[in-house]
Amino acid sequence: MGVIIRQSIKATVFNYIGAFIGFLTTFFILTKFLQPEVIGLTKVMYEVAALVAGFAQLGTSASAMRFFPYFRNQQNGHNGFFFYLMLMPTIGSVLFIGVFLLLKNWIIDFFIEKSALLVDYFYWLLPLIIFLTFGAVIETYANILMKIVVPKFIKEIGIRVMLLVIYFCYAWGWLNLTGLVTGFVLVYGGAMLANMYYVSTITPLSFRHDNSYIDKNLRRDIMRYTLVLIIGAIGGNIMPQLDIFMVSSNMGLGYAGIYTIAMYMGSVIEVPSRSISAISKPLAANALKDGDLERANQLYRQVALHQLMASSTLFLLIWINIDNIFDILPNGEVYETGKWVVFFIAMARILATTLEFGGTLISFSKYYYWGLYITFFLTGLTIFTNSVFIPRWGISGAALATFLTCVVSYTFQQWIVLRKVKGNPYSIGILKQVLLVGALFGVNELLPRWCDNPFVDGIYRTALIGGSWIVATYFWHTSESVNGLISKIINKNYCKQDNH
């Protein structure tokens, strides 16, 4: 777990800087200078492109994680692995962009009534699809090589800073809406090229390959695994975007913009989990390749605990300040309708970040095909719940549908993990964290409002509750790894004072 903690901390620094930039951009730039329809346009454009890109990858990101240990050889250029890494998404891009164009009329009919603005920029989706497809695959390659820091900087800071520049240019009238969309797309192209350059500095990138290296059995395993991923992508890539698609289709881009802002608040809790997940997956792949279930499951318990600690604590700090946040937000009265979106999306993210590593164990094991059953069932459930809940409760209904689907999904997944790979993420540390967060919610309810100024009240609540969490976590020994880091910080500061 030491390498995970060290790499995660380095990357999480960039995650938090990026999250801070994203916070400023989302809450104080977008809400002040962009209409909800424009916010909704950029969000839906990204999600549509990400959906097609997910298909176009042909499962490359996941299969690369699983099979790279079979190719790993720095001196031999990893036996032509980069060739195969680029070949699959190239084939997938040609195939699925073609399908996307064939479905153009159906896509336009889906959005034109409530979200006609998206139709005007339909063809801008094509380069965005390509940039997201290859950007994700190249970032995965860096993760496999255990080099997650620079890609995190590009993704979490580089993209956000460039988007911030584009938004300011639009707000100041230097760009019209077409210029905004153009800049939005080009930012992701620049990120893809930056990642490509970085990877080329840490390992040779060559399209040379040796067909004889892949024997019959390995080729069969790769093709079978990839085919299952492609079939699973039919449901798996659609499901995460269904809520925003159905909100924009049923309620319009304005409500999609409000949903986007609220969803961002709920999704902030994922920030630390991205680094932990990125560095843990290659370790899981190696453990399962060696057939070491005990090591893989020990990793599962450690990852689950630290994911829960990070996500639930961030949710605690957000929710105790939720009214202050909307008071501070420009045009907050418009976006306050998304308050319960924040709650349900955050609850779904807590569950997902805590248990998602179980899905990683399944996907890297010989039982990976079980993901197909889960995916198709959940896609149907997501469509049904959104269809029922959105007409009744609007954007809150869409978030509730996401949460319920998440509960069903991870309950079923955990049953599979327990039965097939004997994976059990639960530990005394998880129980301690749940009880601690629950107790601190109770403490917050007893706190009087400091004053009518939301900044002052927010600082006072955050400092008191956050400080209490740190002290309780340390003395209750919720996590030995976290205690070790806190002790190291304390001892380092003590030594500095001693030297003075």
Evaluate if residue 33 carries a pLDDT over 80.
yes
Q: What is the pLDDT of residue 1?
A: 46
pLDDT tens sequence across 169-202: 998 999 999 999 999 999 999 999 999 999 888 8
304: three-class secondary structure by DSSP: helix
Going by C-beta distance under 8 Å and a sequence separation of 6 or more, which residues neighbour residue 494?
A: none
pLDDT tens sequence across 70-89: 676 666 656 667 887 888 88
d(CA 152, CA 319): 27
Q: What is the pLDDT of residue 278?
A: 61
d(CA 154, CA 137): 14
Instruction: Work out the angle between the directed axes of helices 159-171 and 177-202 (0-180°, nearest 10).
Output: 160
pLDDT tens sequence across 459-488: 999 999 999 998 999 888 888 877 777 777
Evaluate if residue 204 carries a pLDDT over 60.
yes
d(CA 254, CA 115): 9
Evaluate if residue 304 carries a pLDDT over 70.
yes
Q: What is the pLDDT of residue 266?
A: 76
User: 143-157, 209-223, 312-326: lowest mean pLDDT where?
Assistant: 209-223
456-459: long-range contacts, CB 8 A cutoff, minimum separation 24: 457/324, 458/321, 458/324, 458/325, 458/328
Tokens of 297: 């499951």
User: 55-59, 309-313, 485-489: lowest mean pLDDT where?
Assistant: 485-489
Nearest 5°: the CA angle 54, 58, 64 is 100
Going by C-beta distance under 8 Å and a sequence separation of 6 or more, which residues neighbour residue 96?
A: 52, 55, 56, 129
Chain-centroid distance of CA 380 in Å reads 22
pLDDT band at 238, cuts 50/70/90?
Answer: low
CB atoms within 10 A of CB 383: 17
User: 446-450, 454-458, 464-468: lowest mean pLDDT where?
Assistant: 446-450
